[in-house]
Structure 1
């Protein structure tokens, strides 16, 4: 491929799109929104589209999208020395005033240095000149622990980006108009609630190189309180295309946050409190999906928990549309939801018990029983849905060999119940190693040793291999343990990410660790004291200081924590939203 062919490939993408807000590339201020994976993956990300809409609705700003090219295109960019270009106008990344990068998955970290370098933007923030683009990170990974990426970014949005992105743009535009120096501009950004400027905070390391806290510059917040967006408007697909991993689907965000208190789930703590969109707003989104003839994708932490879910799915079906759900809970599943999925052509119901034993589900506060699983299977059978998928984690805190046996027993019992109620398809177990995440009650816990997890995964597969109606799919432990390092790592890991990105991506990460004398084992397996500083302590999710500690102790007692409810002041979030 040559430069012209790269441009033509981007132009071809826009010809297949329906853009609800339009994109006026003649507006004075140019913002690049980057998703550090391919167009096929990135166009399924609703957060990117929500921010795209907000910026393009401004009279003074245009947002254009930039994605990781295919391998063939990457080679062409490098060979022809063409700077990475945007989809809308094929503008070079280095020519944008602001670059916003959505960071959703740890394994995408390795793409970020390549994208910046390919766009002829200095990879390290400290090397950027006065009028180089301001690079801002956002998304889930930026919210729970941006430190492993801190070297690459001028600022991060902590929490939800609606509203705060416009506040940041106003500061940047005003500073550029008035010739404000870059460092002063960054200090101004740090005054915005929900914006973290890593260069203004210096990591401190103690004995044996253990992280010992951050030293904030004078005049900047000691802690950055995450932003919290009221759901006052629809959150839905803005640029519709068939070329995404979700296919020809129109995504509608039903709710945000989750109040179920699953102790392993970062989203349940970082995006608390749970909020739902009014039914009338969701109906308007469904109407727009109908105009395009698109299948509706309902997005949220637990779709079946939406208070008016039956009314919503009946409305979708009244429009003659199909739909699918991002997530379902076995204990709130309804016949209307399941029947609607069946009528939409869905062949599989997916449920996440996470663990096989009810004891371990109490530890993680999952709140699902085996009776709930059987009820969900019965509903699926009644609707004519043949297949069941269960999400399972291995390596959870307090897990024993008996808990692995309980997964085998649970799978066999669920498959037997499928046969009994006339659900004659396949039972699939999708199994992932557990990764402790910041801002959860398990944030201090070491990951279970990789050798132990590998043996338990083998035990699980061996225990179920004789039943041909049960399929076991296992995520690569190697990738999971790299994610584990990046999820809780400090700023030193930026160097390892940059080193790997310069060579063979994630495949070079172990080599990078050896070259830079960074120990994955120390990061993964070290028990962390509840009192010691953590890299993410500079951020504040609004939780009461001792709340996560209390929840960790409750997990060891297998104590149940009830879901969020109106008037509750248990965790400290309500009343502190910014």
Structure 2
């Protein structure tokens, strides 16, 4: 059975190109773990960036490990074999450091499953001198590590390029000096951007760990390292920018990854070589691709090299005809936009800066380029939302579909609707989540109203899953205890019963209005701006006026990140 599991990993590896094979002798063994399937994980650009960063060190051998499919999990359990890495088929419990890329709250359950399958002691406090250090990085680790603090020894707060080199330098020096586990953790707690739960105590309510960010993106490449056909996005991914300065008040990434930074066109052109060599489409990555100042020149460069392209996202108020034409020429069939709300009032509340005319202009560009299908990202349950704002979503969808048909685009209009989830380090971090019955009712209202309209599709995230995400996103260390009990009881669906047994409820946890002077679990971290700034933005949201917070600009010192 063990032989078969190893052969499956070897076969998967044989279908790859670009992976590292480092001798472990004299190097620290680092297992880079993605808490989801290989198919999903290999499309995560952050994993590729960290994998290269670590393997280019002379003291580290980094290998990858993913959550196996259910049948493989059962095979591991039957064989009593620890979960193994891709590169050397080594058990997870034999590594010095296990580093998880933590991007989504619902993957928290998968983290615990991987620790169990890897025969790694789940609780950080129970690990001994011979056990691996378990660390976490990525968006969830950066904005609120507390729900995972029972299981992790340390967290990377911010961007890996700015923190991991210092982390590994200290770890390497301490290991050479023969330091014990707690001494190493104490030393790591002094590395800028490293949060050690056993050292830093959130109940103090003090800003102790400062989020780190890479100021010059050109110093590190940001592209696909390993190619495989077995992945969600079979592209050569290229990061052209990081961070966002648009000040959308619901967006954690817009606050935790400030300031916005662009790679130089020259640096991006160098990374296109991988796409040329592999014959793959270029996947441009960034918070808002159309905000890249040289996007038209980049499009001409990509198509001029005989390549095709796709984008992660663009903004309807900055998209250009050349960008849309380039996407259409690359085979794009659906143009995606994110107005977030149907009414101008709600878009003012969230400071989106997108109006219906922007959507119509972008649609017109798409139709002229030959694109016939469009998708809209919408949120419901936003702070201050009224029934007329729900009806505005329906009305907007009908007007946009009318525009499509009038201009000969007889394709599909898709509304992708998600419940609003308040996130840490945003002006809405104190807000309650809308009641579950309200969200379900709003979804039903929208779906029913559009059901008879030909070629309008409504897809939606599960409101119940959104409630679990909201609980974990703003949870404290006690939320980690609930997470552990729910995991042992079967997973995310058990959270409701676990909370009930503790005399609470999921509704109570996520629908509570937090007080402005309340000590929040993530107050132990410092993102570079103050609560006063977030409170000011929250007050602006309450006005629901068209006047808005303008985007970041050179010389701006409003939020404090660029001090």
- Give yes or no for TM over 0.5: yes
Cα deviation per residue 1:182-226 (whole Å; 9 max; x = unaligned)?
1121111110110100112345xxxxxxxxx3378xxxxx51100
Which residue of structure 1 aligns with residue 249 of structure 2?
A: 263
Instruction: Find the partner of 1:229 among 207, 211, 214.
Output: 214
CA deviation map 1:517-538 (0-9, x unaligned): 4432222111111111100000
Deviations 1:117-160 (A, max 9, x none): 21111100000001211111100000000101110000001010
Contact 1:377 1:423 in 2 (8 A): no
Q: 1:348 matched to which residue of 2? A: 334
1:505 aligns with 2:488: no
| Contact 2:435–2:507 (Cα < 8 Å) also in 1 | no
Number of equivalenced pairs: 559
Contact 1:111 1:501 in 2 (8 A): no
In 2 relative to 1, CA 12–312 (structure 1 residues): closer, same or farther, beyond 3 Å?
same
Deviation at 1:515, TM superposition (A): 3.7
- For 1:209, the equivalent position in structure 2 comes to none
Give the match for residue 323 of structure 2: 337
Higher deviation after alignment, 518-527 or 457-466: 518-527
CA distance in 1, matches of 2:343, 2:475: 31
Distance 1:256 1:27 in 2: 35
C-alpha contact (below 8 Å) 2:30/2:60 kept by paired residues: yes
1:51-450 aligned within 5 A = 51-202=50-201, 213-214=203-204, 223-230=208-215, 231=217, 232-246=219-233, 248-450=234-436
- Name 1:557's counterpart in structure 2: 543
The secondary structure found in structure 2 opposite 1:437 is coil
Q: Which moved more, 1:161-170 or 1:471-480?
A: 161-170
Question: Deviations for 1:238-264, whole angstroms, at most 9, x for unmatched residues?
Answer: 111121111x21100010000000000
Q: CA deviation at 1:544?
A: 3.0
TM-score normalised to structure 2 length: 0.97
Q: Find the counterpart in structure 1 of residue 36 from structure 2.
A: 37
Structure 1: stretches of 5+ with no match in the other structure: 204-212, 217-221
The alpha-carbon distance between structure 1 residues 518 and 35, as it changes in their structure 2 partners (threshold 3 A), is: farther
The residue that corresponds to 1:210 in the other structure is none
Alignment partner of 1:467 is 2:466? no
Distance 1:144 1:16 in 2: 36
Structure 1 residue 574 corresponds to structure 2 residue 559 = no
Shift of 1:512: 2.7
In the alignment, what sits opposite 1:4?
Answer: 3
Aligned to 1:219: none
Q: How far, CA to CA, are the matches of 2:36 and 2:508 in structure 1? A: 29
Secondary structure, aligned partner of 2:385: coil
CA-CA distance at 1:566 after TM superposition: 0.3
Q: Does 1:50 align with 2:38?
A: no
The answer as to whether partners of 1:64 and 1:88 remain within 8 angstroms in 2 is: yes
Q: Quote the offset at 1:166 in angstroms.
A: 2.1
TM-score, normalization: structure 1?
A: 0.95
Shift in Å, 1:344: 1.0
Deviates more, 1:254-263 or 1:313-322: 313-322
Gaps of 5+ in 2: none
Aligned counterparts of 1:33 and 1:517: Cα–Cα separation in 2: 38
How far is 1:24 from its partner?
4.2
Which stretch shifts more, 144-153 or 279-288? 279-288
Aligned to 1:482: 468
Q: Secondary structure at the match of 2:198?
A: helix
For the residues of structure 2 that align with 1:389 and 1:27, how far apart are their CA atoms? 51
> Which deviates the most, 517-526 or 435-444?
517-526
Kindly indicate whether the alpha-carbon contact (under 8 Å) linking 1:201 and 1:215 is maintained by their aligned counterparts in 2: no
Residue 173 of structure 1, CA deviation = 2.2
Distance in 1 of aligned mates of 2:113 and 2:307: 41
Contact map agreement 1:21 1:238 (CA 8 A) in 2 = no
Partner Cα distance (1:514, 1:151) in 2? 21
Inter-partner Cα distance in structure 2 for 1:124 and 1:518: 24
